[in-house]
Amino acid sequence: MTAPSDAQRPPLPGYGAASMEKIVSLCKRRGFIFQSSEAYGGLNGLWDYGPLGVELKRNLKNYWWRVMVHERDDVVGMDGSILMNRAVWKASGHEDTFTDPMIDCRSCKSRLRADQLLEKNGGRQCPICGSKDLTEPRAFNLMFKTYVGATEDESSITYLRPETAQAIFVQFKNILEVSRKKLPFGIAQIGKAFRNEINPRNFTFRSREFEQMELEYFCRPEQGMELLEYWKEERLKFYENIGIPHEKLHVKTVSDEERAFYSKGTYDIEYDFPFGRQELEGVAYRTDYDLAQHQKASGKSLEYFDEETKQRFIPHVVEPSAGVDRTVLALICEAYAEDEAPDEKGKMETRIVLRFHPRMAPIKCAVFPLLKNKEPLVTKAREIVNLLTPHMYVFYDESAAIGRRYRRQDEIGTPFGVTVDFETLGEKDAALRDTVTLRDRDSMKQERVAIKDLLDILRSQIA
Ligand code: GAP
């Protein structure tokens, strides 16, 4: 018996045409995501983002930074190093407890997470070969170990960070001093994190190298529970603003048993992926655990002095922690659609379209001269590219029939197409000189707009 691969699982209801097989294939074909080290057979759980994937990822990270840092006067940013003193990981508890229980199947030699075993007739079975010949669970630390400097011994050990948060806690005092913020205030960071996951799966969903967008929002102890609710709501709004509909998002209250022992409340924000409902982000009230641990281990004060009450205390923290790669995957799954559109001869054919929110779309606008061998059309189209380029990512395409060019852009989610035709040159009707057709990706409707209005129209849509 073989467990179905992620690509073979049928899509969940509500996904229409989208299946992981189609999504993975589109991502490779159009340059969103490739397997890392593909030429050498790849490396499990590691992925490379191609020309369109990197744009999508940047749009997501930039929007998160805008909403979480620039548009707020109570949050500042930082960018910490990936390697940190090993003492950080001892104090945070990661060295001793950042583990998954792992089981080996003695028959097929698979290494599995204990929670992935099949339960059948009261017994546990390997989900790959069905064998019941399994080892007892063993704790497997998920951090990647490495050595700093020329000697590889106990004294030079450290780890690739498994979360970005710890750099924020360790720099709390420095940032408090330079930013002169008063509680409540936050420190935000986007960066790589690494976990040696036992079973990376579901395309990029569970990877060994991924990016996080984390905010540590420091507050007084009595504000913690209220701010947990506040940040849960803010984060739900964020997902809707990038094109993930409310009905596909779910808030799971993490139970007392599942929650970290130091957390007084945690929500998981989940999304209905084609492979099931899974976590996009955790919003956790972590109390003063992290700062208190680092204060104890480093012997340096991480206390906050309240000018009004003249009290000193360790601030509490609420943490919304989101995954960049998981959100990119959710954006692609959500955007994928198939509908019917006429080909060049008017015959209806299946159209693959990525209906990204214009704010997230990798390319915002494609510019086409109707014909590539008519110099005035090409010149005008190039002028429009130059007009738009300082404000958005634009793609110029003069090859193939116009219908084919539209279809190529639909498949990568470009929300707008501008075509320069003979009307633009004023050859048919002088009143239409310096106007273009503006095509909407989703409705495929075209309207005539003046070139001088184009920039404002597009900017209002992609902001
Ligand atoms: N600082 C808190 C923290 O790291 P987490 O729930 O372990 O909490 C936060 O991780 C987010 O990071 C997750 O909600 C998920 O989006 C992302 N993430 C965690 N492990 C991941 C993995 N192996 N692959 C991709 N994303 C991951």
User: How far is ligand 1, taken at its centre, from the CA of residue 411, in Å?
Assistant: 29
Positions of the chain with pLDDT under 70: 1-18
Q: Atom 21, ligand 1: which residue's CA is nearest?
A: 206
**What pLDDT was estimated at residue 418?**
98
* CB 210 near ligand 1, within 6 Å: yes
**What pLDDT was estimated at residue 13?**
47
Q: What's the CA gap between 57 and 49, in Å, rounded?
A: 9
Query: For residue range 279-302, what is the model confidence (pLDDT) as tens digits?
Result: 999 999 999 999 999 999 999 999
Q: Atom 19, ligand 1: which residue's CA is nearest?
A: 323
Q: What's the CA gap between 347 and 340, in Å, rounded?
A: 10
**What pLDDT was estimated at residue 183?**
97
* CB 190 near ligand 1, within 6 Å: no
The tokens for 79 are: 């960018």
**What pLDDT was estimated at residue 344?**
75
